[in-house]
Structure formats: structure tokens, C-alpha cells
A and B are shown apart, each in its own frame.
Chain A
């Protein structure tokens, strides 16, 4: 790596002025900062979707409450929360330079992500089987189905992307092409996906539970 490359990351400086100019923003390496900026932008996207959902839900009379069971969403929540813990163990192992363990826990996280996606799609198929589509809702206003499939679909897209990223970064980490920092940055994204689910469950599922 050249001197110029190193100075970009703030690791090498010849003068105090250079150090100030090249020090990472908020004491965070550039790649991690980029991930935080992505997370912040994506939070705004999800917040916008959930506010729009709340707005429409409040303004629509006889909003449907089609969910009769919490078993599936409960299992999905447990799986996603557990995957955050396995990701933490993976990142911690990488920090300890235990490459094999870090790879194993990253792959366990990816498998949990796949399991979450499978349960999600199974739930979707059940709802589609009852006649719910993006533009049709057998329980009342079609807005319910549109919002439900849009919000949960956007989240599922993030989970799918996360699984692909976990597998790709995990394999490259094992091959020596990525380091522990890269694994940690991927972990940040995965925790964010988990964090979004913490809001989707109460607002989209639990508030629409049939009593």
C-alpha cells in the first residue's frame, strides 16, 4: 500500500495538520461511516413507509384486523433477534482472530436469515391463498394488502440482501480477502434489519391482531 493510500485512512501523517485533515470522521473508519450513512438514509425510508401506513390506517374506517395467530410472527421475531446474537458472536470471534469460529457464526446468522425469509414467504403464501394480493384484500380495504405487502416486502428484500452479503463477506473473510472490520460492518447492517423488524411487528402485525 502506498503512502498516499495510508494517509487517506488517517493512519500515517507527517505533520499535525495532515493528521487533522485525514482523521476519520467521528473517529470512525470511512467504510463504517459509509454504512452508518446508509443506515441513516434507510431508516428514513422505513420511517416514511411506517408513517404513511399509520396515516392511512387512521384515516380509513373499518381497518381490517386479519391476523388470528401470533405463532408465525413470534417465531420470525425470535429467529431474527437470535440471528443478531449469533452475528455478535461472529464479530467478536473475528476480533479475537478466531477465523474459523467467526466464519461459522456468520454462516449460522445467514442460515437464520434464510429461515426467517422462508417463514415470511410461507405466511405470504397463506395470505395470497386467502385472496390477498397487492391490489385486492378479501377483508376490506385494498389499502391494507398494499401496505402490508409493501412494508414487509421491503423488509424481506433487506433480509435477502443481508443474507447474500453475509455469505459473500463471510467467504471472503475466510479466504483472507476481507478482514474483521468488514465483517463488523456487515454485522451493523444485519442489526439494522433486526431493528427495523422491532417496529414492523407491533405496527403492522400486532395492531392488526383480531380480538
Chain B
């Protein structure tokens, strides 16, 4: 099925539901910002919500859901980037733990 055919078949209803879900997730991020939790907990929670938001946008706004080959292509790349980011963040925590102001 081509993307254009998928558009015609899926209808605006699905787009609207996905939009509302992303809007709700964005609202959750703002609520998390006002929680009395540590910075690292806040970061983890916000990042999880952001990843879910991005996945919804990729799958439905950018129509990866309708294109199996491209879905795998992007998935493999995304995992590689997240692993790279994980290395960066982990290493920064290692640096922080090695300095006098670390808690």
C-alpha cells in the first residue's frame, strides 16, 4: 500500500487522536516539571515521555506505520542514536561523581 493510499484509508480521525495523545503527553511533561523530585528523576521521566511523543509522531504523522521497510531503517538508526546518547549521559554522570560538588 502506498502512503497516499494509506492516507485515504485511515481518515482524519486517527490523526486527530494521535494529535490529542501527543498534546496530553506534552502536558504531562509540564506537570512533571512542577513535581518535587530530584533532577535525575525528572530528566528520566521527561525523556521517557518525549520518546513516546516522538514515536507517535514518527509512526503516524510521518507515516512510518504504513511503510514497513522504512520503519526498520529508522528504528535501527534511532536505537543507535539512543545508545550513543546513553554513553554520553553515562559518561557525564561519571565525571560529575568525580568532582567535589557531586552528590
Q: Which residues of chain B have a CB within 8 Å of any CB of chain A?
A: 3-4, 7-8, 12, 15-16, 19, 22-23, 26, 29-30, 32-34, 36, 39, 42-43, 46-47, 49-50, 53-54, 57-58, 61-62, 67, 69-70, 73-74, 77-78, 81, 84-85, 88-89, 91-93, 95-96, 99, 101
Contact = CB atoms under 8 A, between A and B. Distances in A.
28 contacts: A26-B70, A26-B73, A27-B70, A28-B69, A36-B74, A40-B74, A43-B81, A47-B81, A51-B89, A55-B88, A58-B89, A58-B93, A59-B95, A61-B99, A61-B101, A74-B30, A82-B19, A85-B19, A89-B12, A95-B8, A96-B8, A191-B62, A198-B50, A198-B53, A202-B29, A202-B33, A206-B46, A211-B34
Contacts of A78: 23, 26
A55 B42 CA distance: 16
Contacts of A201: 26, 29
Interface of A: 26-28, 36, 40, 43-44, 47, 50-52, 54-55, 58-59, 61, 70, 74, 77-78, 81-82, 84-85, 88-89, 91-92, 95-96, 180-181, 184, 188, 191-192, 194-195, 198-199, 201-203, 206-207, 209, 211
Interface of B (DSSP majority class): helix
Contacts of B23: 78, 81
A95 B58 CA distance: 19
Nearest to B40: A58
A43 B76 CA distance: 13
